[in-house]
Amino acid sequence: MKMSKWEFMHRLEELLSDIAPGEREEALKYYGDYITDGGTDNETEVLKALGTPEQVAAIVRDGLEGKSGEFTEAGFINHGAKSDNPVAQYQEPAASAPPPPPKKGLSGGMIALIVILCIFGSPVIIGLGTGLFGLLVGLLAALFALIVAFGVTGLALLGSGIVLVFVGLFRIFMGPLTGFALISAGLIMSGLGLLFLTLLVLIAGKLLPWMIKGIGKLCGKVFKSKKGAQHE
């Protein structure tokens, strides 16, 4: 029995009355447009190719309820078995995802500027680092000399003061005034010797380790700068 487009669509609407309104409207619009696109002269052939409204409704239900396909604005996509129905085989090509936006990197001019600054700045930085390193090494050498001088001076004063104290104790019986003078001088010299030795302990225990640690850090920075300049 031949059916017109209106009869076909009316019957299809009745068969799909129990599905979601949105899905039903999309299905009816799609099949209505499908028949219209075939042309008025070919309407009979198009309807014959689609099959009966019951068959089309079954295709839509199979996709929506059986999850073997899906119906979108582009049409019904059947993921199940192949069918002779041209609409059941129809599948709209999936739109390709837009390419991710390109990452913003440094411009060529900025890279060139950085390279130029590295080329001209590296010798200055390395020169300053080397000069500071030499200064610290010189201070370290002076500190070692100061430690040796304080040690020798402190020991000499302390030893001489002890000797004068003993001499004064011996001479106090012969000449009390001379004996007390020698003892006083010996105590003063011993006190100065102890002062120099105390300074020696402070310098060797506090200042010297701090300077050695600072020189080690500076050496690490200088060598790192030189290695970076060689790579560039």
Q: What stretch of H or E contains 189?
A: helix 176-202
The pTM of this model reads 0.34
Q: What stretch of H or E contains 78?
A: strand 75-78
Render pLDDT for 35-93 as a digit per residue (tens, 0 to 9): 888 888 888 888 888 889 899 888 888 777 654 554 444 445 555 444 444 454 433 33
For tokens 């000449």, name the residue: 175
C-alpha to C-alpha distance for 18 and 64, rounded to whole angstroms:
12
C-alpha to C-alpha distance for 3 and 153, rounded to whole angstroms:
126
Query: Looking at residue 63, what is its pLDDT?
Result: 72
**What tokens appear for 170 in the block?**
């011996």
Query: Looking at residue 74, what is its pLDDT?
Result: 45
C-alpha to C-alpha distance for 29 and 34, rounded to whole angstroms:
8
Render pLDDT for 105-143 as a digit per residue (tens, 0 to 9): 666 777 888 878 878 776 676 677 677 767 777 877 887
Domain extents for the chain? 5-89, 135-231
Higher pLDDT residue, 202 or 75? 202
Predicted confidence band of residue 225 (pLDDT cuts 50, 70, 90): low
